[in-house]
Amino acid sequence: MSVGARLAGVRFSVPSKILTNADLEKMVDTTDDWIRTRTGIERRHVLSEGESATDIGMAAAQQLFSDGKIDKSSIDALIVATATPEMLFPSTACILTHKLGLNGVPAFDFSAACSGFLYGLSIAKSYIESGTFRSILLVCVEALSRIVDWKDRNTCVLFGDGAGAAVITATEDDRRIRSILIGADGQYQEYLYVPLGGTIAMSGRDVFQVACRKMTEAATQALADAHLTIDDIDLVIPHQANTRIILQVAKQLRIPEDKLFVNIQSYGNTSAASIPIAYREAELAGRVKPGANLLFVAFGGGFTWGSAVLKV
């Protein structure tokens, strides 16, 4: 077989501080019931003062190395998906090379909002299949609590902080990314954006509608490109933005509930980190078996979207 790209390991880290819906009831005019029924979210993790996105990104990546899963010296490049870098430069990726003891490897950030993990997989796959690199560390890290207006009930209840780290390696066998697609359309930028130095602005209903449509289209295309149908998929791990978006997409794609992984109740929307966090939780729950076929699908600000079919 030709060289392919394999998802070789995923770990995650979230801050220890938890903000429940009851906590939010004291901050804005909302209720636990409204948040649960409209979004599925029960609690989210948020950074404390003095903690940084880089800290949780590093903690996620370090687990890959400390578990003995990945040999640090094998990493050829480090890429970081984040909408919340701490500085304009150096990039979070550059800072992490030093903190992780990866000095010298090429490193850069990219921005694709909630589709960051899919964009990162696509970049890694291209580097690997072209023969440029054999092993890539992808860190998806978001400090959304720092760009949320905590007085705006329309947005502050939706998001959480978190980081996921994945290593993608070259493989010659069929446990690989079978298909992946990414897309973007800037005509929708006013539906969801963060001005420089500002906070998240969102037209929730518009995001909802386009998200359902684009996620369904992207997943349908990724399945077709992999020459598989939904019946061949063992587990679907969608971006965790809203349970109602996930259930709507699942309905359109005819995904049975037992093939769908949802953990938004515990984390809220962690943007680029949501799929790696969900993947690892699914793995720990015994729902990602070696050789399983998975479907990932994501959608985010931009708008951006992406979907992948992979055998793990």
Does 287 bind ligand ACO (CB under 6 A)? Our answer is no
**Residue 244: Cβ within 10 Å count:** 14
> Which residue number, 4 or 160, has a Cβ lying nearer to ligand ACO?
160
> Which residue number, 201 or 228, has a Cβ lying nearer to ligand ACO?
201
> Which residue number, 85 or 301, has a Cβ lying nearer to ligand ACO?
301
Stretch that binds ligand ACO, among 28-36, 139-147, 218-226, 259-267 (CB under 6 A): 28-36
Does 34 bind ligand ACO (CB under 6 A)? Our answer is yes
Query: What is the rounded radius of gyration, in angstroms, for the C-alpha atoms of the chain?
Result: 18
Does 158 bind ligand ACO (CB under 6 A)? Our answer is yes
CB of 121 to ligand ACO, least distance (A): 17
Please write down the HEC assignment for all residues of the chain. CCCEEEEEEEEEECCCCEEEHHHHHCCCCCCHHHHHHHHCCCEEECCCCCCCHHHHHHHHHHHHHHCCCCCHHHCCEEEEECCCCCCCCCCHHHHHHHHCCCCCCCEEEECCHHHHHHHHHHHHHHHHHCCCCCEEEEEEEECHHHCCCCCCHHHHCCECCEEEEEEEEEECCCCCEEEEEEEECHHHHHHEECCCCCCCEECHHHHHHHHHHHHHHHHHHHHHHCCCCHHHCCEEEECCCCHHHHHHHHHHHCCCHHHECCCHHHHCECHHHHHHHHHHHHHHCCCCCCCCEEEEEEEECCCEEEEEEEEC
CA neighbours within 13 Å on the CB side: how many for 171? Answer: 19
Does 169 bind ligand ACO (CB under 6 A)? Our answer is no
Which residue in the set 208, 213, 220, 221 belongs to the binding site for ligand ACO (CB under 6 A)? 208
Does 205 bind ligand ACO (CB under 6 A)? Our answer is yes
Do residues 116 and 83 lie in contact, with contact meaning Cβ atoms separated by under 8 Å? yes
CB of 55 to ligand ACO, least distance (A): 23
Does 154 bind ligand ACO (CB under 6 A)? Our answer is yes
CB of 182 to ligand ACO, least distance (A): 15
> Which residue number, 107 or 212, has a Cβ lying nearer to ligand ACO?
212
CB of 251 to ligand ACO, least distance (A): 16
Does 209 bind ligand ACO (CB under 6 A)? Our answer is no
Phi, psi torsion values for 293, nearest 5 degrees? -95, 125
> Which residue number, 35 or 78, has a Cβ lying nearer to ligand ACO?
35
Does 39 bind ligand ACO (CB under 6 A)? Our answer is yes
Compute CA 282 distance to the chain's CA centroid, rounded to the nearest angstrom.
Answer: 14
Does 211 bind ligand ACO (CB under 6 A)? Our answer is yes
Which residue in the set 114, 165, 181, 277 belongs to the binding site for ligand ACO (CB under 6 A)? 114
> Which residue number, 135 or 274, has a Cβ lying nearer to ligand ACO?
274
| Number of residues binding to ligand ACO, judged by CB under 6 A | 23
CB of 287 to ligand ACO, least distance (A): 22
**Closest by alpha carbon to 240, among 41, 16, 58, 96?**
41
- Residues identified as active-site: 114, 239, 269
The footprint of ligand ACO on residues 232-271 (CB under 6 A) is: 239, 241-242, 269
Q: Which residues are at the interface with ligand ACO (CB under 6 A)?
A: 30, 34-35, 38-39, 114, 153-154, 157-158, 192, 202, 204-205, 207-208, 211, 239, 241-242, 269, 299-300
